[in-house]
Amino acid sequence: MNYAEVFKRFESLNVIIIGDVMIDSYWWGKVDRISPEAPVPVCTVTKKEHRLGGAANVALNIVAMGANPIVCSVIGNDAEGKLLTELFASNQMSVEGIVASKNRCTTVKTRIIGNNSQMLRIDEERNDSLSENDQIVLIEKVKQIIDSKKIDALIFQDYDKGVITPSVIEKITSMAKNKSIPVCVDPKKRNFSEYKNADLFKPNLKELKEGLKIDNILPQKDSLKSAADILHSTMGIGKVFITLSEYGVFIADYQSQTPNVHLLDAQLRKIADVSGAGDTVISVAALCMALGIPTDELAKISNMSGGLVCESVGVVPIDKTRLLSELQRYE
């Protein structure tokens, strides 16, 4: 496969991402004393940084691969929401799909890092489902975008924070199907069984076990194929793509004429941090789905992308040039 040509074709793609967006905040400082008020360390903050997180990290990966993301989500009508929209703008990303609601707060995850070690994480969030009115507004936003633009793929990036609901899934999936837009899903526990007729469904092994309520699924081809068969028969999933950490990835394609099942080993790498690897994998897989890349190649490219980001500390988007270079070594 000519990977350089494939990567060039990615640049013409528009991808809608629906899910929970958030701010990842980092407060760095020095710790050299214990508080006189309680037996806790005092962190003197020297630097603060705010980054896009959650479903917005998927968008950063789409940008890194040269394509155009359109994030559709609901945030709070608050100061943090304003900061989030500024972060989108600073990353040259549209906010046309963002809904600011007075009923929600903007999710912020703040890490306190003293002497280069994380001491505490503070989460500001709501994880109850969107109000009926907010769901209607979000669905209408997505409809306007799908009706007015060429959309090549759609991703549901679910973090169980309430933006994605059964109604949102059903109505938006139906819209996408009517326009022949491939629907790709990175699920979480709450809505796991709601993604009927998704074209690509990408749980990790833990999410698969929780979602199917089967504890004895093993990272082996036959065991994974049995689990994938259940997803296909009960939910109508087209491609089941299971990430297996150090065991690689598994994919079963039910959209092909003949059985198309692959188990790819993980490549040996020096793993620094697995944070955000799933975001990278679903991003690259969705771009491959948009171009109709063969199933085995989709799994190979996505698997390699997830491995590469694990070599960096923290949540970082994929390095497109490095990914292309690695793929070309195996052409």
Each residue's pLDDT expressed in tens, for the chain with a length of 331 residues? 899 999 999 999 999 999 999 999 999 999 999 999 999 999 999 999 999 999 999 999 999 999 999 999 999 999 999 999 999 999 999 999 999 999 999 999 999 999 988 899 999 999 999 999 999 999 999 999 999 999 999 999 999 999 999 999 999 999 999 999 999 999 999 999 999 999 999 999 999 999 999 999 999 999 999 999 999 999 999 999 999 988 889 999 999 877 699 999 876 555 433 455 778 899 999 999 999 999 999 999 998 888 776 565 456 677 788 888 888 987 6
Residue 271's pLDDT is: 47
The residues annotated as belonging to the active site are: 279
CA atoms within 13 A on the CB side of 259: 5
Structure tokens that stand for 239 in this block: 């491609």
Residue 91's pLDDT is: 93
Residue 132 lies in a domain: yes
Residue 128 lies in a domain: yes
Residue 36 lies in a domain: no
Q: What is the dihedral sign for C-alpha 303, 199, 107, 64?
A: positive
Residue 37 lies in a domain: no
Residue 205 lies in a domain: yes
Residue 226 lies in a domain: yes
Residue 13 lies in a domain: yes
Rounded (5°) CA angle 66-159-7: 15
Name every residue whose Cβ is closer than 8 Å to that of residue 8 and which is 6 or more positions away in sequence: none
Residue 3's pLDDT is: 93
Percent helix, strand and coil across the chain, each rounded to 5?
40, 25, 35
- Name the residue type at position 154: L
- What is the C-alpha separation between 74 and 56, in angstroms, rounded? 12
Residue 315's pLDDT is: 60
Name every residue whose Cβ is closer than 8 Å to that of residue 84 and which is 6 or more positions away in sequence: 21, 22, 23, 52, 56, 75, 98, 106
Residue 269's pLDDT is: 53
Q: In which domain, by residue range, is 282 found?
A: 3-31+42-328
- What is the C-alpha separation between 21 and 305, in angstroms, rounded? 22
Residue 65's pLDDT is: 94
Structure tokens that stand for 115 in this block: 């002497």
- What is the C-alpha separation between 139 and 215, in angstroms, rounded? 35
CB atoms within 10 A of CB 158: 25
Structure tokens that stand for 128 in this block: 């109850």
CB 283 within 8 A of CB 17: no
Residue 163 lies in a domain: yes
Q: Residues, the chain, total?
A: 331
Question: Distance of CA 188 to CAs 31, 64, 193, 271, Å?
Answer: 37, 25, 10, 24
CATH number at residue 233: 3.40.1190.20
- What is the C-alpha separation between 56 and 52, in angstroms, rounded? 6
Query: Count of domains in the chain?
Result: 1
In 106-149, which ranges are continuous DSSP H helix? 132-148
